Amino acid sequence: MIKSVYIHIPFCDTICSYCDFCKFIKNSDWIEKYLIILEQEINSKYEGEIINTIYIGGGTPSCLNIEELNELFNIIKIFNKSKTLEFTFECNIENITEDKLKLLYENGVNRLSIGIQTFNNNYLKFLNRNHNKEDIIEKINLAKEIGFENINIDLIYALPNQTLEELSNDIDEFLKLDITHISTYSLIIEPNTKVFIESYKNIDEDLDYEMYKLICNKLKDNGYNHYEISNFSKSGYESKHNLTYWNNNEYYGFGLGASGYIDNIRYDNTRSFNKYLNGEYIKKSHELDIKETIENEFILGLRKINGINKEDFKSKYNKDIKSIEVVNKLLKEDKLLENEKNIYINPDYIYVSNDILIEFI
């Protein structure tokens, strides 16, 4: 069976004020030890399947130096890669260099995901990001010159005191970059982050909604397909890796804090560096029953704007999707709609989709 691979690199040059992912300030000795154990974990779990997508995330994978990146690429040579492999590598603007980009390109990376977040210098400072507008333009152009055609950039919005005009200006600057994919994130103030410790609050919900509508409308008007709640792409550049998640398909998760879904078991790796180095990779795992699997099918699949294909659902679970009681309830309430092929969330309810998805739990 074809599967996907996620690999977590937990090291960063600096820690962003809003980030609650598993991460540490970069340390060369730690990186060396980590890569040794990462290789052991991969060798112990990978069963030789064809791999359709690889996603190296973090943390900040691009903070690794050339020698460390070469070691990482040697480790992942074990994978039996599809001829149509989508290979994504996360980067931060401040540690993108020409040498690193050439190395990624030579090792088969064909999609970059770059954490830009905003062009506004005040908000960059608030987010603890160490780049500016000129850096962004320079590095994106450099990536294109080297040969990268499939580039995602992250946009973060709903920042404290941010206005609709400021967000509109950010979107205009993102559009000038002429890239193929944009992922958008409303700022969520998570426990144990700098913004939480400093007592920042989420913005007014009505303003958050207006910002979401602004993003959707401006990107749609500029040729981007809104294919998932928070994701927009030019035609043919939807993220195959993230669609693995939203289609409820199985994938390996390797590395500190990674999650995976293999052989109907969902698992989360430990976030303890010492435990991971001692080979105690998994923190918790759970084998799903059919009820939980179908719940996940809806919770993940209805994030896609086109929703869930009715024939695919029947093929997977040997039952009509409309035999699910809550589906009929939501169809009657017009919270779900259907066409010949799919069942999907009514566009009027996309912004409050969590209120709909929770009904499947």
Chain segment 195-243, per-residue pLDDT in tens: 656 666 777 889 999 999 999 999 999 999 999 999 999 999 999 999 9
Query: What's the token pair of residue 291?
Result: 């009820």
Tell me if the bond preceding 59 is cis, omega within 30° of 0: yes
Which residues does 117 contact at the CB level (< 8 Å), separation at least 6?
123, 124, 127, 129, 154, 155, 156
Taking Cα atoms as reference points, which of 146, 159, 191, 154 lies closest to residue 174?
154
Q: Which residues of 122-133 are buried (b: 16+ CB within 10 A; e: fewer)?
A: ebbebbebebee
d(CA 262, CA 5): 11
Residue type, 151: I
Q: What would the pLDDT profile of 154-176 be if each residue is shown by its tens digit?
A: 999 999 989 999 999 999 999 99
Taking Cα atoms as reference points, which of 178, 174, 131 lies closest to residue 154?
174
Q: Which residues of 294-331 are buried (b: 16+ CB within 10 A; e: fewer)?
A: bbbbbbbbbbbbbbbbbeebeebeeeebeebeebeebe
Kindly list the averaged pLDDT for each block of 10 residues, start to end, along the chain of length 361: 92 62 70 96 96 94 96 97 97 94 98 93 80 91 97 93 95 96 85 63 85 97 97 97 97 96 96 93 96 96 97 95 94 95 95 90 82
List, in order of start, the domains of the chain with CATH numbers: 3-245 (3.20.20.70), 308-361 (no CATH)
- DSSP label at residue 308: E
Burial (0-12, 13-18, 19+ Cβ within 10 Å), 277: middle
DSSP3 helix / strand / coil % (the chain, rounded to 5): 45, 25, 30
